[in-house]
Amino acid sequence: MGNHAVRIPPPVGLVTGGARGIGLAIARLWAERGASIAVVDRDPAGERAVKAASGGAPVAYYEADVRDHARALEVVADAASRLGGLDYVALNAGVTRDRVSWKMSEEEWDEVIGVNLKGAFNYVRAAAPILRARKSGAIVFVSSINGLRGKFGQSNYAASKAALIGLARSLALELGPSGVTVNVVAPGMVRTDMTADLPGEALERARAESPLRRIAEPEDVARAVCFLCGPEARHVTGAVLRVDGGQAMACESA
């Protein structure tokens, strides 16, 4: 080895919705494991949290709304050129606008489908040509068990999360021959800002549904995403991995 050692550049991971919650945990874990990280979020104040979580790893932060298709193309190209490539993409940005279907507004429907589904497509559309050219890489969608089992008051959200599974499986077929894996994680209840305002009974119900009797921390989901991006999952593609403490055990797959 010695002088002949080849320097392998660090992998580069891009996560959407990475200013807080599950996305920030993904960025932190990637950085801890030696990756450079690109984070996209609409929060203008998110950069500070990302920098703090990165522990000194190279970071590129982009303030952007994932619904903006042209901006996605721009952001991904810039991240790949600044950080020296692109290896992992986590489509994590998501919102809820809960209401029973017969009272749901067109705006509530459009926002959730726009962010959760089109936002994910926008970043995959931008990243796929780069991953194909490199002939390796991993894409992970953050869905939800409510996309598998449905949820009262969440028809928009459940539809968007179920649709991500169809999108992921189609991409797995399209990108597999180029050596790119495409998978889905389906979390149950996770302790983040998204669930902070839920009534205590909702959290208790989720805890009771889980055989492990716990609510997930963001890092629990991030670990699964890291697994699906890493060499230990090199033969896993088109899979839906529930990270729900067994909360939706009966819904093995879509």
Ligand X SMILES: NC(=O)c1ccc[n+]([C@@H]2O[C@H](COP(=O)([O-])OP(=O)(O)OC[C@H]3O[C@@H](n4cnc5c(N)ncnc54)[C@H](O)[C@@H]3O)[C@@H](O)[C@H]2O)c1
**118 lines the binding site for ligand X (CB under 6 A):** no
**247 lines the binding site for ligand X (CB under 6 A):** no
**248 lines the binding site for ligand X (CB under 6 A):** no
Residues in region 155-194 near ligand X by CB under 6 A: 187, 189-190, 192-194
How far apart are CB 195 and ligand X at their closest, in Å?
A: 4
Q: Which tokens is 233 given?
A: 């999952």
Q: Are 163 and 143 in contact (CB under 8 A)?
A: no
> Is 88 considered catalytic here?
no
Choices 1-9, 50-58, 65-73, 126-134; region in contact with ligand X by CB under 6 A? 65-73
Q: Which of 144, 156, 183, 237 binds ligand X (CB under 6 A)?
A: 144
How far apart are CB 159 and ligand X at their closest, in Å?
A: 12
Between β-strands 180-187 and 137-142, what pairing exists: parallel, antiparallel or unpaired? parallel
Task: Give the SS3 label for residue 173.
Answer: helix
Nearer to ligand X, 85 or 114 (CB): 114
Neighbours of 111 (CB within 10 A): 16
Q: Which of 29, 53, 59, 93 binds ligand X (CB under 6 A)?
A: 93
How far apart are CB 72 and ligand X at their closest, in Å?
A: 10
Indicate the burial class of 197 (C-beta count within 10 angstroms; 0-12, 13-18, 19 or more): exposed
**201 lines the binding site for ligand X (CB under 6 A):** no
Tell me which residue of 117, 119, 122 sits closest to 164, measured CA to CA: 117
In angstroms, the CA 245 to CA 136 distance is 31
Q: DSSP letters along 88-116, please?
A: EEEE---------GGG--HHHHHHHHIII
Q: Which of 12, 14, 15, 19 binds ligand X (CB under 6 A)?
A: 19
The residues binding ligand X (CB under 6 A) are 17, 19-23, 41-43, 65-67, 92-95, 115, 119, 142, 144, 187, 189-190, 192-195
Question: Which residues are known catalytic residues?
Answer: 157
